Amino acid sequence: MIPNNNSRKMFLEIVKQLRQLIQDENIAVGGKLPSERELAERLQVGRSTVREALRSLELLGIIETRRGEGTFLSDFRKHQLVELLSTFILQDAKSKKDVHTTMQALEQDAIRTICMTQLLHKQSIWDAFIDKLQEEVLQEDIIREIIIISNNRLALKIWFLLKQFAGEPYRGIMNVEEKKAWKLLLNNLKVGNEPQAISYYNEWKLLMNRGEN
């Protein structure tokens, strides 16, 4: 039952047992875990060892601790992990460039998919879209909408992840020139003209990059 305490990493064992405990006691998201002191006694280890395991799980976003209250099972979707990893991973420029390139690949593919899908050429959708360009629009919002419309949820998911890694290169608001490019892009999207749509997409990216520098 209890693994030898020597030559093995106890805190990793505790992580394992905590997972088991969460499962056995059927602790739901938001539910409370036993206190550190109680866990230490139940698992027959020191409190500091329990804490090392808990802190690891906290950094992973699996649990959440509130001082004076306790430790709670948290929603797995907390994005802490991605943010943390990004600070470690994206140190060399090459990685950053890869992220941008890959995002661009997904974006272009969404445009191509839409162009090739006859069902998506209904005017009504796109006219409403073009109208929106009158208002203040974030660069990020519109390209995300395009990917959503392309109906590839996996690509959307990956794109989201990459966006977090990328340090939000799309945070800006679109200026007049960018909106002009997008209007032309959308008009070609509407009729399924792939080459022109891609062409205007590339033009938009150029405008965006120029704006940043």
Partner DNA sequence: AATTACAAAGTGGTCAGACCACTCATAGTT
Partner DNA sequence: AACTATGAGTGGTCTGACCACTTTGTAATT
Residue 40 or residue 155: which is nearer to DNA going by CB?
40
Size of the site for DNA (CB under 7 A): 30
The 22-41 contact track toward a second copy, x by CB under 8 A, reads -x------------------
Total residues contacting a second copy (rule CB under 8 A)? 47
């106890």: which residue's tokens?
Answer: 10
87 binds, among DNA, a second copy, none (CB under 5 to 8 A by kind): a second copy
Scanning 83-91, 121-129, 178-186, 203-211 for contacts with a second copy by CB under 8 A, the matching segment is: 83-91
The conformational region for residue 115 under phi > 0 = left, psi -120 to 50 = alpha, else beta, is alpha
- Alpha-carbon distances of 62 from 53, 142, 158, 168, rounded to whole Å: 11, 32, 21, 25
Find which of a second copy, DNA, none residue 69 binds, CB within 5 to 8 Å per kind: DNA
Look at residue 68 and give the partner it binds from a second copy, DNA, none, a contact being a CB closer than 5 to 8 Å depending on partner kind.
DNA
Q: Is 67 in the site for DNA (CB under 7 A)?
A: yes
Number of H helices, E strands in the chain: 10, 2
Runs of H (alpha helix) within 60-134: 80-89, 93-116, 123-132
Exposure letters 153-173 (e unless 16+ CB within 10 A, then b): eebbeebeebbebbeebbeee
The secondary structure of residue 65, as a DSSP letter, is E
| Residue 42 binding a second copy, by CB under 8 A | no
Return the residue of 21, 22, 27, 47 that touches DNA, per CB under 7 A: 47
Name which of residues 159 to 198 contact a second copy (CB under 8 A).
161
Residue 131 tokens read as 């109208």
Provide the binding-site residues for DNA, judged by CB under 7 A.
5-11, 33, 35-38, 40, 44-49, 51-52, 54-55, 65-71
